[in-house]
Amino acid sequence: MVIAFLTLLSLNVWGQTKNTAFIHIYDLIEQKNFFKAKEIYDLQKKDLSDSHQKFVEAFLDNAFNRLEESNNQINQLIKAESNLPDSLILELYRIKENNCVKLFDYKEAKNALTTILKDYKNLLSENEINEIENSLKIWFALENEPKQKTFIKDAVRLKMEKDKVGLNNLKVSNGKDSLNFIFDTGANLSTVPKSTAQLFGMKIIPVDIEVGTITGEKVPAQIAVCPEFKLDNIEILNSIFLVLDDNALAFPQIDYQIYGVLGFPVIEALREIQITRDGYFTVPKEETKNSFESNMAMDGLTPLIYINQRHFTFDTGADRTIFYHSYYIENQKEIDKNYKPEKISFGGAAGRKEFDGYVISVNINILDKEITLKDIQLLKEKIKNSETVYGNIGQDLIKQFHKMTMNFDRMFIKFD
C-alpha cells in the first residue's frame, strides 16, 4: 500500500507536464548523447511544456558551449519556482556549476554546489556527496582569484614535438623558462607536477583534493593559479592548474617525466585550433566556416564527437582509440563470433590496469569520409559506473587525415 501511494504521489508530481517526448530526450541527455537529444528536441519541441523546454535548452546550451544562455534558462526556472521535481532542479544546479567553471566564475560555481548540499543532499549518494565536497574545496580556494584571460595577438603556427611515448607537446614559456607540455583535449583541467608549478611561479593553494584517472583510481592533488604563460604570441593569464606530486607524473621504467598538460580551459579559450598530420599546431586568424551540423559537444569539461550515430569522447592526448562497454553490448554477437578475447592493459597517473576485452577493426564514416581503424582495443566491462559513451577517439583516427580542426564557437570537429 505504501509503495502504491508513493507511485501515485510521483505521478501527481509529474502529472501535467511529463510526456513521452521529454522522457526520451532526458534519457538521451543522461546518456550524454546530446546530439540525438538535440535532433529529437528540434522535432518535438512543441510537445513539451514551457518548463520542460527551458530545462532541455539549459542542458543543450551547456553541451554546445552556449554557457550564458544556459545559465539564463536555469535562472528563469529557479526564479519561477517551476513545478519540476527536486531531482531535476538538482540537475540544473549541477549544470550551473559547470557553466560557471567554464566562465571562470568560481564563486558562483561554489554557490551552486553549496545549494546542492544544503537543499538536495538527501537525493545524493555517499559517493556523489564526496565528489561535490571535493569540488567545493577547489571553488572555495579559487572564489576570490581573478578570471582566466587569453590574448591572441595574431595567428599562431607552432611545430609540435613528439615525446618518447608519441604524444604531441607544445613549448610553453613564462618569459624566462620554457618546458614542453602535452596538448590534451581529454584533460579536464591543465595539470603540472609540483616542480613545474614552482619553476613557473604558480600560486599553489594549500587544499587537498583528489582527481580521477582513466583507470578509475584517484590520486591526491592541489590547485594552483599560473599568473602568466605563453604559447608563442598567445598570452594566457590566471590559468588554473592541478598540481600533482612529481612521481605521479613520472614513469621511471621508461625514463619518462610529464612536465605539464594543457587541458580544456586553455584549449577552449583559443576559439579554434588546427593540428596537421606533419605535426603543426595552428590558431588561425579567422575561424573556419562549416556547412554541417555540430558534431562536437561538451560533457562537463570533456569534448565529445558524434561518429556513426554514436557519441565518443575526443582525446588528442591519447595515442590510440579505445572502445567501451556500450559498443561491445551493441555489437556483442558479431564481436564474439569474429574475435578472440584478450587482456587489455592501459593506464595513467595511477598506474596500469588490465581489463577483459578484444582487439578489433572498425569501418567509420565521418563527415562522408570512409576510413578503417585497425587494432582498436575494446573493453567488455565498464571502467567507471558513470560511463555512458561508446569509447575514446585518439590520434590513430586524427592521423588518417591531413588536418584536424576543432572549433569551440560553432562546436565542430572537421577532418581534411
pLDDT in tens, 360-393: 999 988 878 888 989 999 999 888 888 899 999 9
Domains of the chain: which residue ranges?
Answer: 2-142, 149-268, 296-415
Q: What is the DSSP string of 381-416?
A: S-SSTT--SSEEE-HHHHTTSSEEEEETTTTEEEE-
Query: Does domain 2-142 bear CATH number 1.25.40.10?
Result: yes
- Mean pLDDT is highest, among 90-104, 263-277, 284-298, 340-354, for 90-104
Tell me the pLDDT tens digit for each residue of 80-130. Answer: 877 889 999 999 999 999 999 999 999 999 999 999 999 999 999 999 999
**Considering only the top CATH level, what class is 149-268?**
mainly beta
Average pLDDT over residues 186-209: 91
Beta-carbon count within 10 A of 43 CB: 10
Q: How long, in residues, is the chain?
A: 416
Number of H helices, E strands in the chain: 13, 24
Q: What CATH architecture does domain 296-415 belong to?
A: Beta Barrel (2.40)
Q: Which amino acid is at 263?
A: G
Beta-carbon count within 10 A of 247 CB: 12
Predicted pLDDT at 5:
36
Predicted pLDDT at 45:
94
Q: What is the DSSP string of 7-22?
A: HHHHHHHHTTT--HHH
In the predicted structure, residue 1 carries a pLDDT above the cut 80? no
Q: 168 Cβ partners below 8 Å, 6+ apart? A: 160, 161, 162, 182, 183, 275, 279, 281, 316, 317, 395
Beta-carbon count within 10 A of 191 CB: 26
Tell me the pLDDT tens digit for each residue of 325-334. Answer: 999 999 999 9
CA atoms lying within 13 Å on the CB side of residue 263: 18
Distance CA 146, CA 106 (A): 9
Identical topology for domains 149-268 and 296-415? yes
Task: For residue 280, give the C-alpha cell.
Answer: 603543426
Cell 587525415, residue located: 401
pTM: 0.87
